[in-house]
Amino acid sequence: MLKEVADRTQNASRNVKDLFNLTGRVAIVTGGSIGLGRQIAEGLAEMGANLVLCARKKERCQHAAEDLQQLGVKTLALGCDVKDPADIQRLVDAALSQFGKIDVLVNNAGISWGAPVEEMRLEDWNKVIETNLTGTFLCAQAVGKVMIKQGRGKIINIASVAGLGGAPPALPAIGYHASKGGVISFTKDLACKWAMHNIQVNAIAPGWFPTHMSNRVLERDREFFLSQIPLRRFGSEHDLKGAAVLVVDGGQSAW
């Protein structure tokens, strides 16, 4: 009897591991060369996924790709501006040429711009919205066409706790907050639209993580931000590995 229980436990453990096994899968990570994108890419590679890393600075992607190859996966590094539909199509075409399929898309590329609302220039507002929200749409649209033909796929959009509500005047980044709120709503709606194609669309909403984009703000107001976090710490380089914000209800709560 004990052996039977042990065998069942072992099989259950193996099955759970299989759920997270990405061996042979192909994942695109936009903005995957540094920061949160690099952390997520590393987590995917640790589970066996081959990676397509893209960002505006191709050199950074090449360095990241070389490092991640040490985990035993194949990588492809590309330059891509997610505001440019032609750039995105070249990304998709290159991924298909190299790997023949796209299983996962992580929409991580993003920027921020700080200015009081009354002084925010339209060009700066547009730059943030076009990168964070329109870029997420354009990448999902282009990769989604491939996933629809495949009959399956996973899309993970990187939102932010900033998209869940307002912020004090110490954080004058209304364009960033608005864009991430849009990403959250976009994620819910796209999940409903593409469930019929066996494409699951989810989002991750990180809090404060020390990254290339946030370091300056965190260094300036470190104690203030820590005082707002019950755990009294910022995110670490491992906290986002394997994380996803989702309810296991077949998408019911997204309606």
What mean pLDDT do residues 202-220 have?
A: 65
How many CB atoms within 10 Å of residue 135?
Answer: 25
Confidence of residue 6 (pLDDT cuts 50, 70, 90): very low
Share the mean pLDDT of the chain: 84
pLDDT given at position 166: 80
Confidence of residue 162 (pLDDT cuts 50, 70, 90): confident
Domain boundary assignment for the chain:
25-248
Encode pLDDT of 13-67 as tens digits.
557 677 678 999 999 999 999 888 998 999 999 999 999 999 999 999 999 999 9
Q: Where is average pLDDT lowest: 100-109, 131-140, 218-227? A: 218-227
Q: State whether the Cα torsion 7-9-14-19 is positive or negative.
A: positive
Largest CA distance in the chain: 72
Burial label for 143, CB within 10 Å (0-12, 13-18, 19+), is: buried
Higher-confidence residue of 112 and 126: namely 126
pLDDT given at position 117: 94
Query: CB under 8 Å to 100, separation ≥6 — which residues?
Result: none
What mean pLDDT do residues 120-135 have?
A: 97
Q: Is the pLDDT reported for residue 201 higher than 50?
A: yes
Encode pLDDT of 60-91 as tens digits.
999 999 999 999 999 999 999 999 999 999 99
Q: Is the pLDDT reported for residue 3 higher than 50?
A: no
pLDDT given at position 9: 46
The rounded percent of the chain whose pLDDT value lies above 90 is 62
Return the active site residues: 176
pLDDT given at position 4: 43
| Interatomic CA distance for residues 100 and 93, integer angstroms | 9
Return the HEC string of the chain.
CHHHHHHHHHHHHHHHHHHHCCCCCEEEEECCCCHHHHHHHHHHHHCCCEEEEEECCHHHHHHHHHHHHHHCCCEEEEECCCCCHHHHHHHHHHHHHHHCCCCEEEECCCCCCCCCHHHCCHHHHHHHHHHHHHHHHHHHHHHHHHHHHHCCEEEEEECCHHHHCCCCCCCCCHHHHHHHHHHHHHHHHHHHHHHHHCEEEEEECCCCCCCCCCHHHHHHCHHHHHHCCCCCCCCCCCCCCCCCECCCCCCHHHC
pLDDT given at position 168: 78
The rounded percent of the chain whose pLDDT value lies above 70 is 74
The answer regarding whether domain 25-248 maps to CATH 3.40.50.720 reads: yes
